[in-house]
Structure 1
Amino acid sequence: MPRGLILAGIPGTGKTVLVKAIAYELGIPLAILDASAFLRGVVGETESRVKQIIAILESLAPIVVFWDELDAVFQPRESQLSTDSGVSRRMLNALLEYLGRTDRKAFVIGATNFPQLDKAATRPGRFDNMFGIFPPDYEARKEVLSIHMNVIRKLPINEETQKKIQETIASETFGYTPAELEQIVKNACSIAMDEDKGKITLEHFRAAKESLGVNIQTRIQEVETMAKQLSTIPNVNMGFLKESLIEFGSGKDKDKTKTIIATLPDDLRGSLKAL
C-alpha cells in the first residue's frame, strides 16, 4: 500500500487542484504545507516546529498532507550549501525520519517543479511513486475553458458562440497550463468590460491569450526537460509517464509533440508508438 507520492510538473499544471480532488474523493481532511511552515529564525525553533507539526498531523489522521514546493526542502544533499549552522540538515533528517516511520498514519503527497530530489526522500516507504503532470491536451483544454466559462463564471455567451470560442482557443493554446487557460478567461472578461460593448467575443479571448505572452518554444523545452528528468528517476511510474505523454501528444496536438518525443531515452521513446 503506497504511503506517499510526488506530483512533478511545470508550474500551473494543476497539481494542487489534483490533490484537493484526491482528498475530496477519499473523504478525509487535507492539510497543506510548504517549507515556510517549518523554518524559524531562532536557533532550535525549526527543529521544535517540525516536531509540533508532525504531532498535529498525526493527531488528525487519517489525513492527506499536501507538501508544496517539495524541492525547497529535499534538494539533493550534494547540491546544498549549508550556511545555517546545520539547521536545514537537521530539519531534513527529522522529516525523513517521520516519512519513513512504519506507524505514520498521514498519506503525504508532495509537489515539485524540479523532480531531481534527494534520493533518501524518494525511496520506497517515504514517497513510493512519482507521477509526471503535463499540460492538458486539446480536448482537456476545451473542458478547462468550459468550466471557467460556464461553471465558475457563467459568462453571458450563447451556446454556439461558446463552442466556437472553446474550440478555437483550445486549438491555439497547445502547451498552455490550466492556470493560464483560466487567466485567459479572466483577461477576456476584463478586456470586454473595458471596451463596454455589452458582449464577450472570440477576439477578446484572442487578445487575452496574447496578453499572457506565453512562449511556446520555451514551453516545449520545459516539457522536454521535465520528461527527460522523469525518465531517469527510479521511482517514477513509467506506465503513467508514457500514458501522459501519449495523451499530451494526441489528436490535434500530435504533430506538435514530435520534437519532445525525439529527445527522450530510446526505451521510453520506442514505447510511444501511438505518437
Structure 2
Amino acid sequence: MDRFNDLEVLIDSQYPIICIETHEESRAEDILTRISSRLRLPFFHWVATEGLTRSGEPQPVYNTRTAMEVLNFIGTSSLEAVYLMKDLHRYLDDPLLVRKLRDLCQCFRQKRKSLFLTAPLFDIPPELVNEVVFFELSLPSSAELKELVLRVVQGLSSRRKITLKIDAATGRKLVESLKGLTLHEAERVLTRAIVHDGRLSVDDLPLILSAKKQKISQSGLIEFIPRQESFDGVGGLKNLKQWLGTRKGAFSEEAKNFGIDPPRGVLLLGIQGCGKSLMAKAVAQEWELPLLRLDTGSLYSKYIGETESNVREVIRLAESLAPVVLWIDEIEKAFSSPSGSDADGGVSARLLGTFLSWMQEKKAPVFVVATANNIHLLPPELLRKGRFDEIFFMDLPGSEERAEIFRLHLQRRKRDPAAFELAALADAAEGFSGAEIEQGIVSALYSAFSTRRELRTECILHELRSTRPLSLVMKEQIDQMRKWANGRTVSAA
C-alpha cells in the first residue's frame, strides 16, 4: 500500500519524530508493526497505563511507565528500532520533556531510530516544529474493508447462525458503502447489521448510510440537506440547467469507461435571491445524489491548527459519502481575510490552499457547488481556470423568467396560474429577484387571508408596488457586479 511505502521512506530518511493525526490508534499501531517487520526493526509501543512494550513480548520494559522514563530508555538503548508513543501530546507542556525530545532528535540522526506519536490533534511546541513531520493516515482502503467484512462474518459465524446473501456485485457495493468510516466504525455497523436480523445482504446498505449520516451530523461541520426541488421547480436559468444536465451520470462506471473525467464543480456568482442556493439543491435532486451543506462559519476555531484540521475533516467526510454534491454557501466568507492575508495569521490563506489543492487533485466523485454574493471578496486564485469546471453569473430574472417564477410559486400555494395575469405581474416585478417575487406572493396571501378575500392579481400587484427591490436599494453594487461578470463568467440564463 502507498501509505506503507510513505512511512518506510520516513523511517529510512531518519525523520526523528513523526506525528500521525488519527482517532484510529490501534490501526496506526498495526500498520507500524507490519512496517517494522518488513524493515526488520524491533517495534515498541508505549501507553501511560502500562509502559513501554516490545512487540511480541508479554511484559513491558522495566521502569518505563512515565513519558520521561521511556525517552531516557530510547536515548540510552543501542537498539535501532521503531517506537510508538500514544497520547504524548498531553505532556508536551512540560519544558523538561520538550528538551529531552530535542536531545533525542540529535541522537536519532546517528542511529536508525524513529519515534511515532499518535493523537486526534496535535499542538506542537515551537521548539519542536522543525523536528516534526506530520503524516495523515488515510481512511481504510477497499482491501482493508474487504478483509474486515470477512473477519467480522467469520467471528460472528462462530457464535451464531448467519445467512449471507452477497454476490460479487453486492460485495463491491458493501465495501464501497463502508468507505469513509474508520475500521472501528465499520466493524460496529457491520456487526449491528448482522446481529439485527442474522444476515448480511444488500438490504443492509441503508443502515450503513444512516451510520455515515449520523457521523457527519456529529461533526458539526457539514449537514445533510433533504433533496427538494428538481430543475423543473426552478424558474429560468436555462444555460445552467443545460450545462448541469449534460453532466448527469458523469460519476458512473459507464462514464469512466467512456473516458470522461468526473466533473469537479461549479461556482455560482450573482445577486442575492436569484436562485443560487435553490440550484445547489436542485442539482442533487436531478442527479439523484446526497446533498451536503458546508457551514463555513464552523470551520474557524480559536485553537491553533484546529481550523486547518476542520477543512481536512470536511474533505474526508464528503469523500466518505461520494458520490455526493457538496454545497458551499457564500464561499467568500470561508476563504477571505478581512484585512489581507496576515490579518488572521494566514489561516484563510492556508484554508484556501488546502481547498484548491483538493479541487485540483481530487479523485473522489464529489461535485462542489459553491455560491457567492460578494465577488469582490473572492480570492483571485479561486477564479482561475481549472479550479471549477465553470463559473456562472446569475443575474436578475428577465420578463419570461419572472412569469415562470410567478407560475411556479402560485402552483406551490395551490393556486391556478391561469387565473392570474402573469404578463402584468412580470412587468410589475421588473428588477425583482426570484426571492422578492416569492415574498410578494406571500405578503399578498397574508393580506387576502386577513380580509377573507381570494388571492387575485390586484393583491399581488399592490404588494409589488409597495416594495423597493434590491435592484434599487443596491443599484451601484449590482451594476459593478454585472460589469465585473461581463466577459469573466457564463450567463446562467
Per the shorter chain, which TM-score range? 0.7 to 0.9
In structure 1, C-alpha distance between the alignment counterparts of 2:483 and 2:344, rounded to whole Å: 33
Larger RCO, structure (CA 8 Å, separation 6 or more): 1
In structure 1, C-alpha distance between the alignment counterparts of 2:399 and 2:374, rounded to whole Å: 25
Letter in 2 for 1:163: F
Does the Cα contact within 8 Å between 1:189 and 1:200 map onto a contact in 2?
yes
CA shift, 1:51, in A, is: 1.4
Task: State the match for 1:98 in structure 2.
Answer: 358
Task: State the match for 1:126 in structure 2.
Answer: 387
TM-score computed with the length of structure 2 as normaliser:
0.43
In structure 1, C-alpha distance between the alignment counterparts of 2:478 and 2:468, rounded to whole Å: 17
Distance 1:231 1:10, change over 3 A: same
Distance 1:216 1:9, change over 3 A: closer
Deviations 1:60-104 (A, max 9, x none): 1111111111111334x7962533333222222222222222424
Does the Cα contact within 8 Å between 2:325 and 2:369 map onto a contact in 1?
yes
Task: State the match for 1:188 in structure 2.
Answer: 444
Query: Which structure shows the higher strand fraction?
Result: 2
Task: State the match for 2:287 in structure 1.
Answer: 26
Task: State the match for 2:275 in structure 1.
Answer: 14
**Gaps in structure 1 of 5+ consecutive residues:** 245-275
CA shift, 1:30, in A, is: 1.3
CA shift, 1:9, in A, is: 0.7
Task: State the match for 2:149 in structure 1.
Answer: none
In structure 1, C-alpha distance between the alignment counterparts of 2:360 and 2:442, rounded to whole Å: 43
1:170 equivalenced with 2:419 (yes/no)? no
In structure 2, C-alpha distance between the alignment counterparts of 1:63 and 1:180, rounded to whole Å: 30
SS of equivalent to 1:97? helix
SS of equivalent to 1:100? helix
Structure label with greater radius of gyration: 2
Task: State the match for 1:265 in structure 2.
Answer: none
SS of equivalent to 2:361? coil
In structure 2, C-alpha distance between the alignment counterparts of 1:187 and 1:37, rounded to whole Å: 34
Task: State the match for 1:248 in structure 2.
Answer: none
1:45 equivalenced with 2:302 (yes/no)? no
SS of equivalent to 1:125? coil
Does the Cα contact within 8 Å between 2:471 and 2:478 map onto a contact in 1?
no
Identity of aligned residues (%): 30
Task: State the match for 2:324 in structure 1.
Answer: 63
CA shift, 1:218, in A, is: 4.6
Letter in 2 for 1:88: S
Letter in 1 for 2:460: F
Distance 1:129 1:113, change over 3 A: same
In structure 1, C-alpha distance between the alignment counterparts of 2:434 and 2:287, rounded to whole Å: 23
SS of equivalent to 1:132? strand
CA shift, 1:221, in A, is: 4.2
**Gaps in structure 2 of 5+ consecutive residues:** 1-260
1:203 equivalenced with 2:458 (yes/no)? yes
CA shift, 1:187, in A, is: 0.1
Does the Cα contact within 8 Å between 2:407 and 2:417 map onto a contact in 1?
no
Alignment partner for residue 5 of structure 1, among 266, 281, 285? Answer: 266
How many pairs are equivalent? 231
Does the Cα contact within 8 Å between 1:184 and 1:208 map onto a contact in 2?
yes
SS of equivalent to 2:380? coil
Task: State the match for 1:227 in structure 2.
Answer: 482
Deviations 1:89-148 (A, max 9, x none): 222222222222242431112111123422222233321321111121112211211111
Letter in 1 for 2:363: D
Tell me the C-alpha RMSD between the 2 structures: 2.5
Task: State the match for 1:262 in structure 2.
Answer: none
